[in-house]
């Protein structure tokens, strides 16, 4: 465990500061198990834990660095960066960290020292090798207190009228352990010992020469603290019906850590359990944190002599009971059932954290998560659309098997922004759809080729210069094979980009439409004109063998208007949509 007095100080000053600068009304700021483990493991690799003064100074310096990073991120409004870290990563990381934390507390149960490590193999190996030093008294006391804590937690969760038992569990464990020690005075049970009395004194962080070696850990703790705090704060804000400013949260946490570092505190963040207690107790403003801080101040001034007799096995039982709730096996089961990719991400993160250490586990998890994001972005979803019978609505033919397609026309919807990373994939898919008709969705007689490619671009929010150039190349490629591109429902920004780049004029203003159905009807109108035009006078783009036209006209229709169109009884192939509906999105004179 990190130094007990440092823990007390850590939870004191940041409470007051966060109440002023934070935006959450229920978030309880202070020491949490995960950050404590990160700090402890990193510092043990830099300085000797027996050097109490230097060890404490390093923890304080780390709080200052984390606070500065959080303030910078808040002021620069970089809160959106945390969106790139998947919940599966956090769940896997938290689960593995909980196991490591529980094993690291085993020494207080077993009565002998074990190796300090953030990896499971050295911990288990050390526990097995030191079995000769096993002591029964701390094991029995710790086990009894742990069982009591778990029972109280279960009763508090399962019965509303016993909810207070969950919050009273740690206090019960400490009081019970202290009473047993005072009565029986067992020499084999280690105690917390003397704790400095009084409020923390103002002190400027020292030993800045270690700052370089602490930068990676500061970045890691900042990320973990932000994810945990902002996630908890957003959940509580939603339950209490108010909006949360993520950037204000970052700034509030940063200021709390900076001020805390001047009063002997190591990095603080939002605590889920204490925040839940705040919420269940009816806290509606940040004043709850101020009240908690006042109570802690009174304890530091008047109750520290009582802490001397607290058995460390009792504290270990409290820590173990707390981290047991962090083992999120239910999330793993849910991910396996719902999304195998997220389950793989959860497994990779938890496994690397267990066997390679917390820092590497987080980096690997975040790296794999970003790799998945990049893969999804570079390989966007593209759907072939068909018309729902009796409507003018076009939907994905894989999702709606009853939707029918038109021979010679492919309608493609691109469900992502188009930019340099995914344009190659999009072009490959368009070529596939243009050169082959999937037999499982074919309606009517087989066709020899595609004559129109309609791009439904309503989901496309952005298109960059690389995509524009690729679209030009695709148009030229299609033009050589007598294929016409039509574009449906581009948004304003996309349309401006296409206009400025000359794509609008290249494709033709008459081939931009408000609706997919308008584009389809115009394409069918051109096909209808071929029926009434001699082959020698046919449009070179649409001119094709009579066998194709015959197949097109013989296609079975799913509604009466399409049946009339394909049998040739209509004077106009677009009688069901008249007036301005069939005007192109851009007029020829525009």
Mean pLDDT, rounded, for 142-166: 85
Task: Return the minimum-mean-pLDDT range out of 42-46, 201-205, 301-305, 549-553.
Answer: 549-553
- pLDDT of 395 reads 95
Assign residue 59 a region: left if phi > 0, alpha if psi is -120 to 50, beta otherwise?
A: alpha
33-46 and 52-75 helices cross at what angle (nearest 10)?
120
pLDDT digits (tens, 9 = 90+) for 529-541: 654 555 444 444 4
Query: Average of pLDDT values for 467-482?
Result: 91
Q: What was the pLDDT predicted at 218?
A: 87
- State the sign of the Cα–Cα–Cα–Cα dihedral 353, 355, 359, 360: negative
Length of the chain in terms of residues written: 590
CA 506 to chain centre: 41
Q: Rounded distance, CA 221 to CA 230, Å?
A: 14
**Pairing, β 382-387 against β 409-414:** antiparallel
- Its pTM stands at 0.73
Confidence at 95, pLDDT banded by 50, 70, 90: confident
Out of 290-294, 321-325, 505-509, least confident range: 321-325
Structure-block tokens of residue 488: 């449906």
Bridge partners (DSSP) listed for residue 269? 30
Q: 40 pLDDT exceeds 60?
A: yes
SS (H, E, C) 213-235: HHHHHHHHHHHHHHHHHHHHHHH
Distance, CA of 514 to CA of 562 (rounded, Å): 21
State the chain's mean pLDDT as an integer.
80
Residue 522's pLDDT is what? 92
- Residue 5: is its pLDDT beyond 80? no
> Is 255 a residue whose pLDDT tops 60?
yes
More confident residue, 296 or 574: 296
Higher pLDDT, 403 or 554: 403
Q: Using CA atoms, how far apart are residues 65 and 396, in angstroms rounded to an integer?
A: 51
Which of 44-68 are b and which e, b meaning 16 or more Cβ less than 10 Å from the residue's Cβ?
eeebeeeeeebbbbbbbbbbbbbbb
Say if residues 321 and 150 touch (Cβ distance below 8 Å).
yes
Mean pLDDT of 101-130: 88
Q: What is the rounded CA–CA span in Å between residue 141 and residue 158?
A: 26
Which domains does the chain show, CATH number per domain? 4-375 (no CATH), 382-582 (3.30.750.24)
Q: What is the pLDDT of residue 78?
A: 83
Mean pLDDT within 586-590: 46
Residue bearing the bigger pLDDT, 419 or 198: 419
CA distance 105 to 115: 11
Q: Is the pLDDT of residue 265 over 80?
A: yes
Taking alpha carbons only, the member of 565, 550, 559 closest to residue 446 is 550
């Amino acid at each position: 465990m990190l130094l007990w007095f440092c823990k007390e100080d850590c939870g004191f000053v940041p409470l007051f500061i966060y109440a002023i600068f934070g935006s959450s009304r229920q978030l309880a700021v202070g020491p949490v198990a995960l950050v404590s483990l990160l700090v402890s493991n990193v510092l043990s690799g830099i300085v000797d834990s027996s050097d109490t003064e230097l060890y404490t100074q390093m923890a304080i310096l780390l709080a200052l660095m984390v606070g500065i990073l959080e303030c910078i991120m808040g002021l620069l409004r970089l809160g959106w960066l945390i969106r790139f870290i998947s919940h599966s990563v956090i769940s896997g990381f938290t689960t593995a960290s909980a196991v490591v934390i529980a094993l690291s507390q085993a020494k207080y149960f077993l009565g002998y020292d074990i190796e300090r490590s953030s990896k499971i193999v050295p911990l288990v190996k050390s526990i097995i090798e030191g079995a000769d030093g096993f002591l029964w008294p701390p094991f029995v006391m710790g086990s009894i207190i742990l069982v009591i804590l778990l029972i109280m937690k279960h009763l508090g969760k399962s019965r509303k009228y016993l909810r207070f038992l969950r919050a009273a569990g740690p206090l019960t464990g400490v009081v019970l352990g202290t009473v047993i020690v005072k009565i029986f005075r067992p020499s084999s049970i280690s105690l917390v010992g003397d704790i400095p009395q009084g409020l923390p004194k103002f002190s400027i962080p020292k030993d800045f020469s270690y700052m370089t070696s602490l930068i990676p850990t500061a970045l890691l703790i900042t990320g973990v603290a932000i994810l945990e705090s902002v996630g908890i704060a957003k959940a509580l804000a939603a339950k209490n019906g108010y909006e949360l400013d993520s950037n204000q949260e970052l700034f509030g946490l940063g200021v709390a850590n900076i001020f805390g570092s001047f009063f002997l505190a190591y990095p603080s963040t939002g605590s889920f359990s204490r925040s839940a207690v705040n919420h269940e107790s009816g806290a509606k403003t940040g004043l709850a944190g101020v009240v908690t801080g006042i109570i802690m101040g009174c304890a530091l001034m008047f109750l520290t002599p009582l802490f001397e007799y607290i058995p460390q096995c009792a504290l270990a039982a409290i820590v173990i009971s707390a981290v047991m709730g962090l083992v999120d096996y239910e999330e793993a089961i849910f991910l396996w059932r719902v999304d195998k990719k997220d389950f793989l991400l959860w497994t990779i993160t938890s496994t690397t954290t267990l066997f390679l250490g917390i820092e590497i586990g987080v980096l690997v998890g975040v790296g794999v998560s970003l790799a998945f994001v990049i893969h999804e972005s570079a390989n966007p979803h593209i759907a072939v659309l068909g018309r729902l019978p009796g409507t003018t609505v076009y939907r994905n033919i894989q999702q709606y098997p009853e939707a029918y397609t038109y021979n010679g026309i492919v309608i493609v919807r691109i469900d992502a922004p188009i930019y340099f990373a995914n344009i190659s994939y999009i072009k490959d898919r368009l070529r596939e759809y243009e050169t082959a008709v999937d037999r499982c969705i074919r309606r009517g007689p087989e066709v020899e080729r595609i004559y129109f490619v309609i791009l439904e671009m309503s989901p496309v929010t952005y298109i960059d210069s690389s995509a524009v150039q690729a679209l030009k190349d695709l148009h030229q490629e299609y033009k050589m094979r007598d294929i016409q591109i039509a574009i449906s429902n581009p948004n304003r920004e996309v349309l401006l980009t296409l206009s400025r780049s000359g794509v609008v004029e290249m494709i033709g203003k008459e081939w931009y439409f408000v609706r997919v159905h308008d584009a389809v009807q115009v394409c069918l109108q051109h096909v209808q004109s071929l029926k009434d035009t001699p082959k020698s006078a046919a449009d070179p783009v649409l001119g094709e063998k009579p066998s194709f036209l015959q197949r097109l006209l013989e296609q079975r229709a799913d509604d009466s208007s399409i049946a009339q169109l394909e049998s040739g009884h209509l004077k106009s192939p677009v009688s069901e949509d008249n007036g301005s509906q069939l005007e192109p999105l851009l007029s020829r004179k525009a």
